[in-house]
Structure 1
Amino acid sequence: MTAYCFWGMRRGSRFCTRSRLKEDRSARWRGGGCQTTALTLDRQSSQAVVLSASAGSPGDLFQIDIASGADGKLTGVNREYLDEHPPASMEKFSFERAGFGIECRLWFPPDFQATRKYPLLLDVHGGPNGAFYDSFNAVQQVLATAGYLVLAVNPRGSSTYGDDFMKAVLRDWGGEDYLDLMAAVDLVSERPYVDSDRLGIHGYSYGGFMTSWTVGHDDRFRAAVVSAPCTNLYSMYGTSDIGISFGEVQWGGSSFDAADELIKHSPITYAKDVTTPVLLLHGEADNRCPISQSEEYFTVLKRLGKEVEFVRFPDCSHLFLRVGHPKMREEYLSRTLGWFDKWLA
C-alpha cells in the first residue's frame, strides 16, 4: 500500500511521520528533542537522510532506516568547535495558567554553578504563532554562554500546542500572552541562583512588540533589546506588507473600524511609562515590520528623555537573522550581548 511521509510538529519538537493512504493513523519514525528541517529518501523509500539540529548542535546529517527507525550520524560539522566552546544546556518545564499549560525552556551557562547568582534574560519569539523548539538558537546560545540564564517561553499564541492554544492570542496582543510570560519570569525568579535585580528582555518581530509592550507595563527589567518590532499597530496597518491580511485577523479590525483597539494594543501608547534602557535593532529593508515602527518608538522615547539607542542594519530584510549577510548577523548578536553587558554586568 502506498505511504507518504510528512513533517509533524508537537510541543516544540518536529517529527518525521509516515502514513498510509486511506488510513486515519500515522506513525512517527524520527524526531523529538530536535528540529528536523530537511529530508531526502532513496528510490525504495527505505532509507532517509535528514538534517537535524538539537539543543546543543546547529545541525548534522543523519541516515535513518525507515522500517526500524534506527539512525546513524553522518556528519560532525561543528564537533571541534563545540568541544572547545561548550554550548549552553537546556531544561524544559511547564506550568499551568488560566486554562493552559505553558511550556518553557531555560538555558544555562556551560559552567553553571547552583551556588552562584546569575542575571536572567527573557527571550520572546516572533509570530505570535511562532515557537521555541528543541533546537540550537544562536541568540540564546550567545547570551547563555556569556554567563546569562535565558528563559524561552511558548506563551498562548505559540504554534505546535494545538489550535485552541494558538488562537488564544487573537485580538489580545499584550493580554493573556503577556501574563503568561510574566508568570514564567515570576516562577524562575524564585530559584536561588537567579538574581532578580538583574533581569533583561529580548524579542524580535512579535517578540519586539512584546518586549516594548513589557517595558511599558513592568519596570523590573533593567535592559531591553527591541528588534524589528510592531510598536504602533495603527500605522503598521497601512505600511506593512501584511498589515491588512494579517492585521485584521490578529488585531481585530482595520485602522478605520478598530482604531481605538489598535491604539490600545500599541506599545507606543505606553512609552511614557518606560523606565528600562532600550536598544532598538532594525533592518532598513524590512517590509514586514517596517523600520518606521522603530523610528516612531525611538522618537517618542527620545523626546520623553528615556534611555534609548537605535541601530539600523542597511539592506537587511525581516529575515536577515536567518538569511542575511553573516557580518550583519554577527553585528546583531554583538550589539545584543553588549547592551545586556552594559546594564546587567
Structure 2
Amino acid sequence: MVSIRLGMAVASAALLAVCGPVLAQTPGDAAVYQQPPAPIADILDTEPTPVASLGPDRQRLALFGRANLPPISELAEPSLRLAGYRINPRNNGPANGRIAWLTSITFKDVTSGAEVAAALPTGSRFISPTWSPDGGKVAILRDAPDGLELWVVDARTGAASALTGAVVNAAAGAGMEWAPDSRSILFRAVPTGRGPAPVADAAPTGPIVEQTGGSARPVRTYQDLLGSPADERLFDHYFTAQPTLASLDGRLTPVGEPGIVLGASISPDGRYILQTRVKRPYSYATPAGLFPTDIVVTDMTGRVVHRVADLPLRDNIPPPFDAVATGPRSVSWRADAPATLVWAEAQDGGDPRGQAEVRDRVFMQAAPFSAAPTRLIDLPERYAGASWGRDDTAIVYSRWFNTRHETRFLVDPSNPGEGRVIVERNYQDRYNDPGTPLTEPNAAGRPVMTFAGEGRTILMDGPGATRQGEFPFLARVNLDTGERTELWRSAPGSYETIVGLLDDDGRRFVSRRETQAAPPNMVIRDLDAAEPQALTTFPDPAPQLAGVTRQTITYSRADGVQLSGTLYLPAGYDAARDGPLPLVMWAYPAEFTDAAVAGQVVDTNNRFVRPGGSSHLFLLTQGYAVLDDPSMPIVGVEGAEPNDTYIEQLSASAQAAVDAVVGMGVADRNRIAVGGHSYGAFMTANLLAHTDLFRAGIARSGAYNRTLTPFGFQAEQRTYWEATDTYTEMSPFTYANRINEPILLIHGEADDNSGTFPVQSERFYAALKGTGATARYVVLPYEAHGYRARESVGHTLWEMVGWLDRHVKAAPSAE
C-alpha cells in the first residue's frame, strides 16, 4: 500500500530496539541520534570533492560542487511511493533520499587554466547537468521552493538564466535532452492547470481485490508498488507530463498531448521524438516499466508518425535472469544515423530454459518508417547494446547470464544480416578484459566510436587489471585485422583513467590521476610530453587517515580456490610493539561459473582510498584492523548451481581469511568480527549461524528469510519451489537458534531495494530474541537501502563502534 509519508510509523523514541537491559546504554540514548567518536565526525563534515566533466568541444572542464550529507529533516519531507518510484510531491522530482544534489559549477579552460564560476542564485542546488552538443552550455534542473526549474548556464561566461518556472516534471527521471542544434531542450512539464493532488477517501468504498486466472505469472519481489485505487489516482496526477520544447529565447512549445511519458528522445537529425508512454490497466504486482506501454515516434509537433510497439502488461516474464518479455525492447535511436530506430526481439519466447539457435534478433528501421524493419543481426545470447560508429561499422554485444558469457560482433549496418565475432569471453574475467570502444559525442551530441587512422581502426580503453593492480590503458585497434597498438597505460604506482580526448588521435587527453598517497585530480596527459599538466589541485578530504597502511593479501581456500583481500592497518601500527589487533572482516559474496576467474587477484595499492558515508573503513580510526572485501566466491562448475553448496563454500572462504590474518600476526583470533551490507549482511548472519570463527557480527539492510523472495534473489535464478532445500538452507532465519555470537542489525525504515524489505530484519530480530540470542536492532527513520542523512550515517557509525568495542575489543585476547 502506498501513501503520502507525512509522518513516521516508527517514532523517534523507537529509533532503537534493544534486546534486554543487559545491553542497554546511557538512559535516553535510544531516543536521539548519536555522534561517532573523533575524528569520524570531522571527516563526515568535510566538503566533498567536486566531480569533473569535459565538454563536447574539448575546450572546457566543468567542475560540479557537491552537497554534503543532507540533514534528516530533508529526508523527512513528504514522499510518495508509486509504481516502483519514490517522488517528492513538493517539486515533482525524485524523493530526497534518492538525490545527490549539486551546488556549484566552475568552468575551467583546459588550455589557459582560466576559471569562470556559474552565476547561480545563492543557495542553489540542482541535478542532471547536461552539456549542449556544441559544448557551449550546460542545462540543469534547479530546485525551487515549489518545484524544479530548467536553467541554462553559459560555459564561456558563467551567465545563468531560467528557461522555465517551477514546472518541470521529473517524477520518472530528469528526462531532458538537448536538440541536436543546441538551440532548444526537450523536457517534461507539469500539465497546465493540473490542480491539487487527489485526496484519498476517508473511508474506502470497498475491498482491494486482485485475481489470477490460473496461468503461471511469477513476479520477482519489487518495492513501492501501487496498492489501491487511491494510489492509481496519485500516479496519474504526478506522472502525467506534457512533453515540451524550451528554446533558448524563452519560448515553450508543447509537443503533442500530455501522458505518462517514461521516456522521450530526439532523433539525431532533430526531426522526430521517440516516446515511451504507459497506459492503463495498471498492475499492483509490477513497477511502471512493465505496465502496458505504447512506444511511438512523433514529429516535433507531437503527431504520431509511427507506432513501434503496443506492449501489454508484462507480468509473465519467467524467473531466470536471461528471461525477457516478448515484443520490441531496448528501443533507441542509432547514434550515428539521422533517424534510424534499433531494437531487439526475443526469438525464443523470452524463456531461456528451452533450446534455441537464435535468442534475440536485432532490427533497424529508418525514417520515414514506411519500409519493413531490417534484420541487423541474429544473436545466440541476449542483446546487450551496441557501439555505433559510421555506416559500415558498429559493434553489437550479447550476453548470457547463466554462463557469464559475452560475445561481441562486428557488423556493417549498410550491409545488415551478418556479423563477425571479434570477442568472446567470460565477462567476469578481469585479467583478459580487452576494453571497450572509446566513444565521444558527435555533432548531435550522441556517443559514437572514435576512429583513429585508416580503415576501421578505433580507440579503445579499459581497466587493465593484472595481479599487480589495475593500470588503465588506451589502445588503437584495427577491427578488420585485429592488430592492436597500445598507445598508453597508467604508470606503476598510479591509477589514471581517461576523462575525455583532446584530439582525434588519442595523443592528448584529460585524465583523472591518483596514487596511494595523492588524491584524485584532473591532468592533461600529452603522450609526447614527459609529465602531465595539472588541471586541478583537490586536497586530501581525510588527512586524518593518511598514515593508514594497506596491502593486498592472497591465500587459498581448502578446495584450492585462490582468495584475496585488502588488509588495512591503523595509522602508527607497529606489529612488534602492538601485537595482534581486533579485526573487522567486511565482505560481499559473489557467484562465479569458473574457479580460475573467481580466484583472480587485483592489487589495489595504486589507489587513493578514503572512507565516506557509513563506511566500515572509519573503524581504522578506532584501533581496528580491517580486512576489506575478502573473496567469498560461490563457484558452480560444469553446470552445477553455485548456491547448492553456498554454506560450505562461504564457511571455507571465511576460515581461510581468518587463518591468513592470524597467521600474519596482525589479528587476534579471539577478536575478529564479521560484517556486511545487503547481501553482505545475509552472509554475516550465515557465518555466525554456521561457524564459530567470529566474536560478533554487524548486518546492515539484509535479507534473512529467502522464502520471502520466492522467485529468485541475488544470482539465484530458480524459484523456491524448484530449489526448496537450497532456499531453506541458505536462510539464516532457519538457523537463528544457532547464532550464539552478538549480532547488530541495522535497517533503513524505507528500504527500497528489491528483496530487502525492512520486515526481513524485523522478523529475524524477533527470531533471535525468541531463541535467546544477544542482538540489537536499529531502525533508521526515512532511510532507504543506502543511508543518506548526516544524522543516520553518524548514528550508524556510533552503533558500529560501540558494538565492536563492547563485544570484540573488550574480549579477552587469544592465548
Q: Residue type of the partner of 1:50?
A: S
Letter in 2 for 1:271: A
What is the alpha-carbon distance in structure 1 between the residues aligned to residue 791 and residue 516 of structure 2? 24
Find the counterpart in structure 1 of residue 28 from structure 2.
none
Q: Give the counterpart of 2:548 among 88, 95, 120.
A: 88
**Separation (CA, whole Å) in 2 of partners of 1:32 and 1:312:** 45
Where 2:694 maps in the other structure, the secondary structure is coil
- Greater mean alpha carbon deviation, residues 6-15 or residues 85-94: 6-15
Give 3-state SS (helix, strand or coil) of 1:256's partner: coil
Q: Which of 748, 757, 763 is residue 290 of structure 1 equivalent to?
A: 757
Task: From the superposition, tell whether residues 75 and 218 of structure 1 become closer, same or farther in structure 2 (CA, over 3 Å).
Answer: farther
The answer for the alignment partner of 2:507 in structure 1 is 46
Task: Return 335-344 or 142-151, whichever deviates more.
Answer: 335-344
Shift of 1:8: 2.5
Q: TM-score, with normalisation over the residues of structure 1?
A: 0.80
Number of residue pairs matched by the alignment? 327
Alignment of 1:2-151 (within 5 A): 2-8=457-463, 10=465, 13-19=469-475, 20-22=477-479, 23=482, 25=484, 27=486, 29-30=489-490, 39-44=499-504, 45-51=506-512, 59-66=520-527, 71=532, 74-79=535-540, 81-82=542-543, 84-97=544-557, 98-115=559-576, 116-117=578-579, 118-125=581-588, 127=590, 134=604, 135=607, 136=609, 138=611, 139-151=615-627
Residue in structure 2 matched with residue 240 of structure 1 by the alignment? none
Structure 1 gaps, min length 5: 238-242
Structure with higher helix content: 1
- Secondary structure of 1:338's aligned partner: helix
Please say which structure displays the higher CA radius of gyration.
2
Q: Specify the SS of the correspondent of 1:305.
A: coil
1:61-115 deviation per Cα after TM superposition (whole angstroms, max 9, x unaligned): 3443356795455444333741x54342101121233232212211111110112
Deviation at 1:11, TM superposition (A): 5.8
Residues in 1 aligned to 2:523 and 2:729: alpha-carbon distance in whole angstroms: 49
Report if the CA contact (8 A) 2:701-2:758 is conserved.
Answer: yes
Q: Secondary structure at the match of 1:3?
A: strand
Counterpart-to-counterpart distance in 1, 2:530 and 2:588: 32
Counterparts of 1:311 and 1:34, CA distance in 2? 40
- 2:727 aligned with 1:262, yes or no? yes
- In 1: Cα distance, 2:680 partner to 2:602 partner: 12
Q: Distance in 2 between matches of 1:224 and 1:270?
A: 15
Amino acid at match of 2:699: V
Q: How big is each residue's C-alpha offset from its partner over 1:136-171, in whole Å with a ceiling of 9 and x where there is no partner? A: 26234311232111112123259xxxx98xx99454
Relative to structure 1, is the Cα distance of residues 196 and 29 closer, same or farther in structure 2, using a 3 angstrom cutoff?
same
1:306 partner SS: coil
Q: 1:21 to 1:335 in 2, by over 3 A?
A: farther
Bigger shift: residues 186-195 or 269-278: 186-195
Which residue of the partner structure matches residue 343 of structure 1? 807
What is the alpha-carbon distance in structure 2 between the residues aligned to residue 223 and residue 154 of structure 1?
20
C-alpha distance in structure 1 between counterparts of 2:725 and 2:693, whole Å: 28
C-alpha separation between the residues in 2 aligned to 1:35 and 1:109?
Answer: 23
| CA–CA separation in structure 2 for the residues paired with 1:294 and 1:37 | 40
CA distance in structure 1 between the partners assigned to 2:474 and 2:676 by the alignment: 35
8 A contact 1:48–1:64 mirrored in 2: yes
Q: For 2:739, which of 274, 285, 297 is the aligned residue?
A: 274
| Structure 1 pair 29–147 and aligned structure 2 pair: CA distance change class (3 A) | same
Question: Quick one: distance in 2 between partners of 1:31 and 1:293?
Answer: 46
For each residue in 1:253-301, what CA deviation from the matched residue of structure 2 results, as whole angstroms up to 9, or x when unmatched? 1012212210111111121111111111122223232222212211111
In structure 1, give the amino acid aligned to 2:584.
L
Q: CA contact under 8 A between 1:107 and 1:149: conserved in structure 2?
A: yes
- Aligned to 2:463, what secondary structure does the other structure show? strand
Unaligned runs of 5+ in 2: 1-452, 593-597, 810-815
Measure, in 2, the Cα distance between the counterparts of 1:183 and 1:125.
Answer: 15
| Structure 2 residue 645 is matched with structure 1 residue 189 | no
Judged with a 3 Å threshold, the aligned counterparts in structure 2 of structure 1 residues 254 and 275 are, in CA distance, closer, same or farther, namely same
Is 1:230 the counterpart of 2:686? The answer is: no
Q: Relative to structure 1, is the Cα distance of residues 17 and 38 closer, same or farther in structure 2, using a 3 angstrom cutoff?
A: closer
Quick one: which of 710, 718, 723 aligns to 1:253? 718
Match of 1:198 among 650, 656, 671: 671
Asked whether the equivalents of residues 285 and 314 of structure 1 are also in contact (C-alpha less than 8 Å), the reply is: no
Cα separation, 1, equivalents of 2:603 and 2:616: 12
Gap change, CA 1:258 and 1:193, over 3 Å in 2: closer
Q: Deviations over 1:173-215 (max 9, x none)?
A: 3331331122111121123342222111111122111111110
Shift of 1:128: 5.5
Decide whether the 8 Å contact of 1:204 with 1:228 is kept in 2: yes
Match of 2:633 in 1: 156
Identify the range of structure 1 (210-219 vs 148-157) with the bigger mean alpha-carbon deviation.
148-157
Cα separation, partners in 2 of 1:36 and 1:18, compared to 1, 3 Å: closer
In 2, are the aligned partners of 1:170 and 1:252 still within 8 Å (CA)? no
Give the alignment's Cα RMSD to 1 decimal: 3.4
* CA distance 1:53–1:123, shift in 2 (3 Å): farther
| Matched-pair contact (CA < 8 Å) for 1:8–1:14 | yes
Q: Retained in 2: the 8 A contact 1:29–1:69? A: no
State whether residues 7 and 14 of structure 1, in contact with CA within 8 Å, keep that contact through their aligned partners in structure 2.
no
Residues 1:51 and 1:291: Cα distance change in structure 2 (over 3 Å): farther
- Inter-partner Cα distance in structure 1 for 2:799 and 2:547: 20
Q: Matched residues, percent identical?
A: 22
Is this contact kept in 1: 2:472–2:497, CA < 8 A? no
Higher RCO structure (Cα 8 Å, ≥6 apart) = 1
Instruction: Give distance in 2, aligned partners of 1:225 and 1:186.
Output: 20
User: Counterparts of 2:702 and 2:808 in 1: how far apart (Å)?
Assistant: 22
Query: Secondary structure, in 3 states, of the residue corresponding to 1:216?
Result: helix
Letter in 2 for 1:337: V
- SS of structure 2 residue aligned to 1:173: helix
Q: Which moved more, 1:215-224 or 1:45-54?
A: 45-54
Q: CA separation in 1, counterparts of 2:791 and 2:497?
A: 24
Question: Counterpart of 2:781?
Answer: 314
In 2, the alpha carbon distance for the partners of 1:194 and 1:304 equals 31
Could you say if the C-alpha distance between residues 265 and 224 of structure 1 is closer, same or farther in structure 2, counting changes exceeding 3 Å?
same
State the AA in 1 paired with 2:490: R
